[in-house]
Amino acid sequence: MLRKARATWKKGGWDGQGIVSTDIGALADAAYSWKTRTNEKTGTNPEELLAGAQASCFAMALDPSRK
């Protein structure tokens, strides 16, 4: 199964902004920017996305009911 995501970045520096989406719709035009990284604006950031991906993988792998 192939999963794809796309991210775009416009402008540059502190005022730049981006959008990230996944083909399956788990993320649909989620905003990210330097301001969302520093909690000055609502949105997500790359670190948050990576942390969520790792946490969910570990939760599934360590599930005691898994056979």
Domains annotated on the chain, with CATH: 5-61 (3.30.300.20)
66 or 49, which is more confident: 49
pLDDT at 5 over 70: yes
- Beta pairing partners, 10: 17
- pLDDT value of position 8: 93
14 and 34 Cβ atoms separated by less than 8 Å: yes
Decide: 43 and 32 in contact? Cβ < 8 Å: yes
Distance CA(46)–CA(50), nearest Å, equals: 6
Q: Residue 38: is its pLDDT beyond 90? A: no
Model pLDDT, residue 20: 92
The CA-atom distances, in angstroms, between 34 and each of 6, 11, 16, 40 are: 18, 12, 7, 9
Q: pLDDT band at 67, cuts 50/70/90?
A: low
Span 4-27, mean pLDDT?
A: 90
